[in-house]
A and B are shown apart, each in its own frame.
Chain A
Amino acid sequence: MSDLDRLSLHVPEPAVRPGGQPDFSNVKIPKAGSVPRPEVDVAPEEIRDLAFSIIRVLNRDGEAVGPWAGLLSDAELLTGLRHMMMLRAFDARMLMAQRQGKTSFYMQHLGEEAVSCAFRRALRKGDMNFPTYRQAGLLIADDYPMVEMMNQIFSNESDPCHGRQLPVMYTSKEHGFFTISGNLATQYVQAVGWAMASAIKKDTRIAAGWIGDGSTAESDFHSALVFASTYRAPVILNIVNNQWAISTFQGIARGGSGTFAARGLGFGIPALRVDGNDYLAVYAVARWAVERARRNLGPTLIEYVTYRVGAHSTSDDPSAYRPKTESEAWPLGDPVLRLKKHLIVRGAWSEERHAQAEAEIMDEVIQAQKQAESHGTLHAGGRPSVRDIFEGVYAEMPPHIRRQRQKAGY
């Protein structure tokens, strides 16, 4: 023993901290179009490489290339661009509203718009998402009314959640959007359960679970993979790797594993890694996984490689833990600009039309906001009733809650 060194604990650190030069040399970016597209019934062990590479469609020149390209028409791509621009404008207005005190809290999607907007378009009506708080694109891309989202954010008299839930924790069964908890990872295994139920009932609908890079460390993530794998549930297990879990870099959750997608391999779940800032690639990979689930071939794990350009939430200041210019150095670019460039290359779009669309979309968002604000904001105007505190804990109010409601004067 005496000739051995003492043990020491390894605590991973990000490559750079504030004041340093942003460095993403560790993110290996394959050329667009270079990753093969296997058949959906491929054996997971034959596509192990796909858990370590990055599926990309759009190249630097804005062209769609390779085996994952060619799925979307001009019109569909223009719709996709519009959804992402809408989400970005929505975020900008809601961030401002939070600063103006119209709500307590907000979480934006800046840089990650392609992930949820493109994914939603690969699903059918009736499928169910179990989202985190950074997938509002699932609602926007399903034409859920923005006014309803804002009513929820403002906790006003028209809030679908009656003021009970934190801002952005939307719910819409009709739009395939499970009520967001606000806790992390719990919804991942619930998505598997929903998918199992659909298979038990011999239905055709499928489910999608969502999680961030940081919360893959939660035990619910691993439970979800076990159940999905064991019962071959028709579920898509999405990991949005936006590099940062509040202030914690992704290496703290990932450890020595090469990628988050690689987590799926030990469970025998096909695992793909995709350029999360490439609308076409996200859509193509989602379609592949959807087809697998729909054909009863079981679950797919997808890691979206992206970057959280904004703060975690309005309560967070990223300059305290990462270089301010890091987002500019992110090698996968901006999802809106990349799709815009592609549409221009296709001859379906122009700078002028883009600028015009930007103005029109902002106007639409502002109109929606005016309408929502006419129903109140957190501290002004119409608000949910105090009665709403006591309603809905149970289907039928039990006597002890009734007594407490009466005591509160309602």
Chain B
Amino acid sequence: MARMTMIEAVRSAMDVSMARDENVVVFGEDVGYFGGVFRCTQGLQAKYGKTRCFDAPISESGIVGTAIGMAAYGLKPCVEIQFADYMYPAYDQITQEAARIRYRSNGDFTCPIVLRMPTGGGIFGGQTHSQSPEALFTHVCGLKVIVPSNPYDAKGLLISAIEDPDPVMFLEPKRLYNGPFDGHHERPVTPWSKHELGDVPEGHYTIPIGKAEIRRKGSAVTVVAYGTMVHVALAAAEETGIDAEVIDLRSLLPLDLDTIVQSVTKTGRCVVVHEATLTSGFGSELVSLVQEHCFYHLEAPVVRVTGWDTPYPHAQEWDYFPGPARVGRALSEVMEA
């Protein structure tokens, strides 16, 4: 067991996977010699050589398109999109190609690729380095979508993603890279070295895709969250004193519906939290499912706490980010309803 940041954890996942399977290759913008702008691939080129970890031209459609071709050949590419905000040039390759190759060819060809991409705000990245595009992936049949919230999960889920026979979108909340950020930007962040989920085995292990984890047991209200918002929700529960049960989805597609339904059936109240914009966000899907499966157990309308329906602003970052105060108000609101 070692103490790892989330950066070290995803690096370790790639390292372990590359050592175990020589068909695993890693490439993307700045990922080779330099090791990536967030340093997630640091040392991999030196260790595995430059035909297994290399720099790519600034062409996301090219990166994903070539990864698809490599996967058709039999490799397992794990590529980095430098920021989730940069994935749009590759969206055609992701949605119409990667997601459908197995289906349209009836399994004659498959597409086992992983696209890693830093997601979310909190680093003053402005509108082009802060986006959370997960709903643009969950709407696409044929993809799997993962958003880890801590180093332990990040490593186990990334290894699962690399070993998965289908394309996986792996969104890494960049504000969590160095610590469990709870939205209190005015305070120094606790490093992962002081958090139990910073304890990460150095070797191989997997976490199943499609299984949520309850981060806080509670009886008053269910909070459904993923990524950075898990830590924000935990802070909001502590600060309001409301006995919330906090579910960390980890995997959005496939979704662990059973865990959500069991919890909401028990608590009768539900708050859905994400950093992405509100309208047609993944929260809409979650609220629909809760309504379909838990309607007769609900004591109050389900509430969403999300980013505003605007581009992610620069100077007003902390007025945009749905921090613990906003989540706390929503918890009080559903308790009072």
Contact = CB atoms under 8 A, between A and B. Distances in A.
Interface of A: 128, 130, 160-162, 164-165, 169, 171-173, 178-179, 181, 183, 186, 188-201, 207, 219-220, 223-224, 226-227, 230, 392-395, 398-401
A128 B72 CA distance: 10
A395 B107 CA distance: 8
Contact of B75 (A197, A220, A398): A197
Given A194-B73, A198-B73, A400-B257, A179 B105 contact: yes
A238 to B, nearest CB: 15
Contacts of B141: 393, 401
B62 A223 contact: yes
Chain B CB count within 10 A is highest, among A194, A198, A207, for A194
Contact of B69 (A161, A191, A393): A191
A133 B65 CA distance: 19
Interface string B101-123: 11111111110000000000000
Contact of B96 (A181, A191, A199): A181
B35 to A, nearest CB: 20
Most buried by A among B25, B71, B75: B75
B68 A193 contact: yes
Interface residues of B, number: 45
A175 to B, nearest CB: 10
A293 to B, nearest CB: 15
A375 to B, nearest CB: 15
B97 A400 contact: no
Contact of A196 (B70, B92, B93, B253): B70
Contacts of A171: 104-106, 108-109
A189 B63 CA distance: 9
Contacts of B257: 399-400
Contacts of A392: 102-103, 106-107
A165 B100 CA distance: 10
Given A183-B97, A197-B75, A200-B25, A164 B104 contact: yes
Contacts, number: 145
A394 B140 CA distance: 12
B57 interface: yes
A385 to B, nearest CB: 12
Interface string B152-186: 00000000000001100000000000000000000
A181 B144 CA distance: 20
Contact of A220 (B65, B105, B108): B65
A162 to B, nearest CB: 5
Contacts of A128: 72-73
B72 A178 contact: yes
Contacts of B142: 393-394
B294 to A, nearest CB: 16
Q: Which 10 A-B pairs have the closest CB atoms?
A: A193-B69, A193-B66, A189-B65, A223-B62, A179-B105, A197-B73, A190-B69, A398-B254, A194-B69, A171-B105
A31 B70 CA distance: 41
Nearest to B164: A395
Contacts of B144: 394
B216 interface: no
A160 B106 contact: yes
A399 to B, nearest CB: 6
22 contacts: A164-B106, A165-B105, A178-B72, A179-B109, A181-B96, A186-B92, A190-B65, A193-B70, A193-B72, A193-B73, A194-B72, A196-B69, A199-B51, A200-B75, A201-B75, A207-B69, A227-B57, A392-B102, A394-B165, A395-B102, A398-B254, A399-B210
Contacts of B65: 186, 188-190, 192-193, 220, 223-224, 227
B74 interface: yes
Contact of A173 (B70, B75, B89, B109): B109
Nearest to B141: A393
Contacts of A199: 51
A203 to B, nearest CB: 8
Nearest to B22: A201
Contact of A164 (B57, B68, B103, B109): B103
B94 to A, nearest CB: 11
Contact of A181 (B61, B67, B104, B108): B104
Contact of A195 (B62, B69, B89, B96): B69
User: Among the interface residues B25, B102, B109, which one has the most CB atoms of the partner chain A within 10 A?
Assistant: B109
B270 interface: no
Given A220-B65, A400-B255, A181 B102 contact: no
B26 to A, nearest CB: 12
Contacts of A179: 101, 104-105, 108-109
A64 B166 CA distance: 50
B28 to A, nearest CB: 13
B210 A226 contact: no
B106 A197 contact: no
Nearest to B55: A230
A58 to B, nearest CB: 35
B52 interface: yes
Contacts of B68: 190, 193
Contacts of B166: 394-395
B59 interface: yes
